[in-house]
Amino acid sequence: MTQTKLTALNTKLIKIRHYLHQNPELSDAETNTTAYLTKQLSALGYRIVTPAALKTGVIAELGSGTPIIGLRSDIDALPIQEKTNLDYTSKNAGVMHACGHDFHMAALLGAAELLATAKNRPAGTIRLIFQPAEETHVGAQEVTEAGGIDHLAAIIGFHNKPDLNVGEIGLRSGGLMAAVDQFKVTFKGIGTHAAAPHLGKDPILTAASSITALQSIVSRNEDPQQATVVSVTHIEGGATWNVLPETTWFEGTIRTFNQAARSLAKQRFFEIINGQAATFGLSAQIDWLTGPDVVDNDPKLTQIVTAETAKHLTVVQPTPSNAGEDFAYFSQKIPSVFAFIGSHAQSDWHHADYIVDDKGLIPAAQWYYFNALRLLTELS
């Protein structure tokens, strides 16, 4: 593609991203986003093959036969009130593309146009997967259960990375993003007057002791060479200053990078919570939600993608992120590569003032494009 055409495409993608940014929708409610993407892809000549089981999201194909190469973008936004003061700020109160999924969608639409107009495109099929509900960690499962990744030879995807410069592509074999587990613990004791704590069973003291004890999972149980994070992020208990409450609860998350660490962290978590409850003489209820596994890049595929990417863009070795990504559901089933692509944002993901750099859209679209063509040839 000539520089003139790239400039025109860049202008188009910026307009698309700004529209998507202004019109964010929450997980599994991306109805208007789905309609918009469907219209864009149909205009480019893609076959819309979205399974009926998917309420939102779009799957579209170009070409025919094998291999079938998947390119994935997520499409949902977050329940955050935007504070960017952009002229294209969110029109939907309390909803914002604060993780850059608008950037992802625009980049994949750009790749879709590049692929649709490519001369001498190799034989095979390109399948675009615009996936719903990444933020709630259910969308990739929904796509998988609906048949959206059936028969794929490989799948690639990316997440914008605010601490990488525009044009930088972070690629590494193995674990790139962490496995995610979520927990909620409720302690039930006996409420009493604050002046007579001996007449009750104090759930606040139990929760405080437990939160401190849980940090021993990382400091005294897990291999210090392996990254593990235990974070308690929300605690509630009591309603006034002179009453010990009957219940107190807290919730949070554990992040790990291999199955042994994940299993050990869960085992020790249950042992600590139940032990603390027994120590203080009250009951504990643990609600445990198993989230996505590690985003695990296939070594052979990563080597191919890295070599191709280095021909066109700057490849860097990224630090693995303790954030989670439900792309992991794909990477556990088929050969895959997930990348970090520079968006040069001034703040991190999930911040109300998160602003990505539009200059990163063309490199992101090219990353999809060049690697889709390479994989069609390599895996034929």
| Chain segment 154-187, per-residue pLDDT in tens | 999 999 999 999 999 999 999 999 999 999 999 9
Above 90 in pLDDT, residue 310?
A: yes
Give residue 325's pLDDT: 98
Number of H-type helices and E-type strands within the chain: 10, 16
Task: Identify the pLDDT of residue 5.
Answer: 87
**Is 208's pLDDT higher than 80?**
yes
Q: Is the pLDDT of residue 38 over 80?
A: yes
Query: Residue 4: its pLDDT value, please?
Result: 86
- Report, as an integer, the average pLDDT of 235-244: 98
**pLDDT confidence of 3, banded at 50, 70, 90?**
confident
Chain segment 252-272, per-residue pLDDT in tens: 999 999 999 999 999 999 999
Q: Is the pLDDT of residue 215 over 90?
A: yes
Q: What is the mean pLDDT of the chain?
A: 97
d(CA 317, CA 297): 13
Q: How confident is the model at residue 2 (pLDDT cuts 50, 70, 90)?
A: confident
Choose the CATH number for 3-177+294-378 among 3.40.630.10, 3.40.50.10470, 3.40.50.970, 3.40.50.720. 3.40.630.10
Find out whether 340 and 170 touch, Cβ atoms under 8 Å.
Answer: yes
Average pLDDT score over residue span 74-84: 98
Output the six-digit token pair for 148: 């959206």
Which of 263, 325, 321, 265 is CA-nearest to residue 291?
325
Closest CA to 70 of 158, 155, 159, 157: 155
What gap in Å lies between CA 360 and CA 275, rounded to an integer? 50
User: Could you please report the per-residue DSSP string of 121-180?
Assistant: PPSEEEEEEEES-TTTT-HHHHHHHTTTTTT-SEEEEEEEETTSPTTEEE--SEEEE-EE
pLDDT digits (tens, 9 = 90+) for 335-346: 999 999 999 998
The CATH code of the domain at 180-290 is 3.30.70.360
Mean pLDDT of the region 205-220? 98
171 token code pair: 């690629």
Residue range 119-132: average pLDDT? 97
pLDDT (mean) for 288-316: 98
Domain ranges of the chain: 3-177+294-378, 180-290
User: Cα(132)–Cα(167) distance, rounded to whole angstroms?
Assistant: 26
Distance, in Å, from the CA atom of 120 to the CA atom of 113, rounded to the nearest integer, reads 15
The arithmetic mean of pLDDT across residues 345-372, rounded, is 97
Q: Using a cut of 0.85, tell me whether the model's pTM lies above it.
A: yes
